[in-house]
Amino acid sequence: MRRRRRPALPVFMLGIVLTLLAASPALASTYRYWSFWDGAGGTWAYATQGPSSMRPADGSVQGFHFVVSKDAADQAAPPRTAPDFAAICSATAPVTGKKRIALVIDFGTPAEAQAGETPPQDAPRTACAQVGPDATTAEALAEVAKPLRYNSAALLCAVSGYPKQGCGEPLADTAATPAPDKPADASADPSAGSDGGGGPSAGLFAGIAAVALLAAAAVWQSRRRRTR
């Protein structure tokens, strides 16, 4: 009796899945970038929009922190100064037709700086921007922290000229790079826009691809059993 030769497709799919799963940790690179935070309610939360699209209301607090992190949603640390609008904007009198936005700019630590660069100051900088009612956070930031630098994808690369080079690229040696501790009360959101300064998480896409392949393999096997 001749044995029916089994198709190699399931084995091929399994090989792809195992390859993707094995590669996922390597794809979760570490990034150095400007993270963007919203201080609504007196607590920092990772912004769900980028600074070029967010239009904060009068009395809002927005934060920027230059960080080293593997994943914006889970590991990026918020600015080291509390989001306190009254403390930041108390000396700026309200003006009709304008809104006041409190800004916290944290340049990070020397350990997080790029080679050959030093943060402009150790402690976070605070400023009160007085801008038009429809102004974005990026416009408010430009009022108090020029020069700003963006890349072609509208990702914020530098605040007050820091850093001088680079823009969110993955670090070459992640093992030797110090990463900030994850804050216990950070509420992060990985869905921030491309101009939000959040570092990408490539492992997520590999995981999705692996799940999709497993599902396809299961459907194929089910149909094969029916045709026997």
Q: How confident is the model at residue 200 (pLDDT cuts 50, 70, 90)?
A: very low
Q: pLDDT for 123-144, tens place per residue? A: 999 999 999 999 999 999 999 9
Q: pLDDT for 10-26, tens place per residue? A: 544 545 544 444 444 44
Question: Hey, what amino acid is at 35?
Answer: S
Q: How confident is the model at residue 158 (pLDDT cuts 50, 70, 90)?
A: very high
What's the confidence (pLDDT) of residue 169? 85
> CA–CA separation, 109 vs 121, rounded Å?
9
More confident residue, 210 or 33: 33
> CA–CA separation, 156 vs 151, rounded Å?
7
Domain map of the chain by residue range? 29-199
Question: Hey, what amino acid is at 186?
Answer: A
Instruction: Give percent of the chain above pLDDT 70.
Output: 61
What is the DSSP annotation of 159-216?
A: BTTBSSS--SPBPS-STTS--PPPPTT-B--TT--GGGTPPP-HHHHHHHHHHHHHHH
- Mean pLDDT over 86-104 rounds to 97
- SS3 (DSSP) at 65: strand
pTM greater than 0.85: no
Q: How confident is the model at residue 207 (pLDDT cuts 50, 70, 90)?
A: very low
Q: How many residues does the chain have?
A: 228
pLDDT over 90 at 150, yes or no: yes
Q: How confident is the model at residue 76 (pLDDT cuts 50, 70, 90)?
A: confident
- Mean pLDDT over 109-118 rounds to 94
- Mean pLDDT over 57-64 rounds to 98
pLDDT over 60 at 94, yes or no: yes
Nearest CA to 67 among 1, 163, 132?
163
